[in-house]
Structure 1
Amino acid sequence: MPDLFFVLYLNRILKRFMIRKLLLTLLLLYVVKMNAQQDNSRFAVGFNYGFGSEFNNRNYTFTNQFYKVQLYYKLKETKHFQYQILLQPEINFAKHQLLNFYFVKPDTPDYEQKRAEYTQLKSVREYVLNCGFLVRKPIGKGCSVYALASIGPMITDTETERMSKGFAFADVFAIGFSVKLNKVQIDIRPDVRHVSNGGLSSTNSGYNTRNIEFGVSYGL
């Protein structure tokens, strides 16, 4: 009887141990799965704010501030680099003024009236949908640098001496620095931007600006 009692007692201890071991194993597998899902997340969504102005130019002034929604998709990741595509709906609020009225030449129809009109300070609003390609290089735990090039269609609501009202294109080249904390990523991004209508209208001098953006994104 004592031997039977001892065997039953030992069997109970072993069962408890096996149950605990099984639960611990399941918990460990769950944690590994969650980490794998986090590492393999391909999508992120974010928001950027930026501002800038034209390169030094004696003919005109152009200042702008803009807001972007950032939609990221990770195409591929290697040992040293990560490749992403990016969709960027944007609204841009700008101020523009012609400084050199001789920019409007006498062969322009109603050139005197246009000189008087264009030399007034104007508010310009732009609606943009840029598509970009981003190459990222990790430089430490949670930090990375990257290069970004994007292009997309744009609608501008104001005619100026440099560009017609309506359809145009926005081209952007940027470099950036990111810090990632869990799923949250913080960005700082200097960039240069060119806007023109691609020759679709006779007025197509366009704008060239230097900007800086600040953003935050979240991995889905």
Structure 2
Amino acid sequence: MLLKRIFFIVVLLAAIHLKAQEKSSNYRIGLSYGFGSEFSNTDYTFENHFYKAQLYYKVKETRNFKYEILIQPEINFGKHQLLNYYFVKPDTPNFEQKRIEYMKLKEVREYVLNFGFIVRKPIGNIFSIYALGSVGPLITDTETERMSKGFAFADVLAIGFAFDYEDFQFDVRPSVRHVSNAGLGSSNAGYNTKNIEFGISYRL
């Protein structure tokens, strides 16, 4: 009788554990690090590196694809310098002083919250490729000739490559990024960068 009870308890606990795994397996948490620079141009330089915390949620899975939502708080460290002296027009208030100020190398820090959507194509049991589009608000702490200080948006398009090892997933993610403030500030030329990102996530 005692053995039956023990067996029943063990089976019940195993079933609860499997059910909990099934419920939570749609979630992954992760971290990533990336870096990049501006597309070649004659107006400015911009190089950056960034850190992200990541929360993935698998919305749906079909025979060929997986669909995921991604939330990414990010801190971005940039270095920016104006190259084109005449980018600041004479109709800008105090334009001569602004030109001198903006030609200096500046450190730019951005605090971002990106919301993304992923379409993933599994390849075999451990590999996958995916497309990611994300957008989100940010706060930048430095005024430049291209961006006002304060509120703006970051838009990212990426292609990713991933492989799984047990409950871990490792990512390589080339991307392009555009930052601007949608006309909410006096300066809105923004930055365009190409980046590459390396990440690791864990299935809960």
TM-score normalised by structure 1 residue count? 0.85
The amino acid that maps onto 2:50 is F
| 1:144 match | 128
- How far apart, in 2, do the equivalents of 1:88 and 1:142 lie? 24
Alignment of 1:104-143 (within 5 A): 104-143=88-127
Alignment root-mean-square deviation, CA = 2.3
Question: Quick check: which one's helix share is greater?
Answer: 1
Query: In the superposition, relative to structure 1, how do residues 35 and 216 fare at CA in structure 2: closer, same or farther (>3 Å)?
Result: farther
1:112-136 per-residue CA deviation (whole Å, 9 max, x = no partner) reads 1000000000000000000000111
Alignment of 1:1-220 (within 5 A): 30=14, 34=18, 37=21, 41-220=25-204
- Structure 1 segments, 4+ long, off by >4 Å, are none
- How far apart, in 1, do the equivalents of 2:158 and 2:181 lie? 21
Gaps of 5+ in 2: none
TM-score normalised by structure 2 residue count? 0.91
Q: CA deviation at 1:35?
A: 8.8
- How far apart, in 2, do the equivalents of 1:156 and 1:62 lie? 14
The amino acid that maps onto 2:177 is R
The amino acid that maps onto 2:127 is C
Gaps of 5+ in 1: 1-18
- How far apart, in 2, do the equivalents of 1:131 and 1:65 lie? 19
Percentage identity across paired residues of the two chains: 66
**How many positions carry a matched residue from both structures?**
201
Comparing 116-125 with 39-48, greater Cα deviation is found at: 39-48
1:171-198 per-residue CA deviation (whole Å, 9 max, x = no partner) reads 0000101111111000000000000000
The amino acid that maps onto 1:182 is E
Q: CA deviation at 1:40?
A: 6.3
- How far apart, in 1, do the equivalents of 2:35 and 2:174 lie? 10
